[in-house]
Amino acid sequence: MCMNKTYGILAHPVAHSLSPQMQSAAFVERGIDAQFLRFDVQPADLANFLSRVRAEHINGLAVSLPHKEAIIPLLDEITQTARKIGAVNTVFWKENSLMGDNTDAEGFMRAVMEHTAWSREHARSVAVIGAGGAARAIIFALKEKGYEVTIFNRTVSTAKKLAEEFHAFSQPLEGFLAREFSLVVNSTSVGLQTDVSPVSVSSWDGFSGTAFDAIFDPIKTRFLQDAESAGGKIVTGENMLLFQGVRQFQIWTGLSAPEDVMRKTVNNNM
């Protein structure tokens, strides 16, 4: 059966993504004749793949690691939000122009705000671990709301450069102490489909805040297990996946997203 429209998730690797199930369920619920595919594209092949998107007029893309920054110069235009973040997670057509947007920031803030009592009123400061495309969106969202952000990354120079760009602070990852922050965020891929964490278990000693991990496979990563064991609250990554995907659906279709159906689909496929 030939579908009228084609969308997909662009990533490497891509097999773990739940976007195909989530968005396909949304298309069915809204009566849209479309398919949502997995596009596993290595970094060296990104430009060729974008040529294919143009030639086949693929209707839209969700963009994940490691392409969120590298895809920008291959697009015709990006939104003001994507430009401020410096990363794209959503590609769509505007007339004959291939556009880039970013819904990760909105997805992150909804995930954290709607699933914990954490808020600016009692927040001290936020630690973001990582300095890639996801980190950019998360830091942007936090700074827009007025939070104090400290970036931790194994490559200190990368963290320092990102901190300067977003008027944040940076520290070496080796010096991370969770108890100094009200919210701790893992934006890296460390822990994806493995039982490892980007930080040591001892770094959680005395932690009583909230921990969030953008990874959702496994649903409760080692990072979150260690945070919870220390006494912290946790927010799992499928919440950000859902909320950023809800906004993507709206951008692609112009319709309201069937959020309940999308949430149920994600939960059923965890």
Six-digit token string for 61: 């893309």
Q: Which residues are catalytic?
A: 68
Amino acid residing at 267: N
Say how far apart CA 213 and CA 235 lie, in whole Å: 7
Task: Give residue limits of the domains in the chain.
Answer: 5-102+241-268, 105-236
pTM given for the model: 0.93
Say how far apart CA 209 and CA 225 lie, in whole Å: 14
What 3-state DSSP class applies to 202?
A: helix
- pLDDT at position 1 is 46
Q: What is the CA radius of gyration of the chain?
A: 18
| 105-236 has the same fold as 5-102+241-268 | yes
What 3-state DSSP class applies to 229?
A: helix
CATH class in words for 5-102+241-268: alpha beta
Of 145, 19, 134, nearest to 86 by C-alpha is: 134
* Domain 105-236 coded CATH 2.40.30.10: no
Between helix 19-29 and helix 238-253 the angle, nearest 10°, is: 50
Say how far apart CA 92 and CA 61 lie, in whole Å: 7
DSSP, residue by residue, 91-147: EEEETTEEEEE--HHHHHHHHHHHHSS--TTT---EEEE--SHHHHHHHHHHHHTT-
Q: Which residue has the tokens 């693929």?
A: 58
Six-digit token string for 18: 């739940």
- What single DSSP character describes residue 217? S
- pLDDT at position 263 is 97
Each residue's pLDDT, cut to its tens digit, for the chain (270 residues) gives 456 999 999 999 999 899 999 999 999 999 999 999 999 999 999 999 999 999 999 999 999 999 999 999 999 999 999 999 999 999 999 999 999 999 999 999 999 988 776 666 667 799 999 999 999 999 999 999 999 999 999 999 999 999 999 999 999 999 999 999 999 999 999 999 999 999 999 999 999 999 999 999 999 999 999 999 999 999 999 999 999 999 999 999 999 999 999 999 999 998
Strand order in the sheet with 34-40: 34-40, 5-11, 60-63, 90-94, 97-101, 77-78
Number of H helices, E strands in the chain: 9, 12
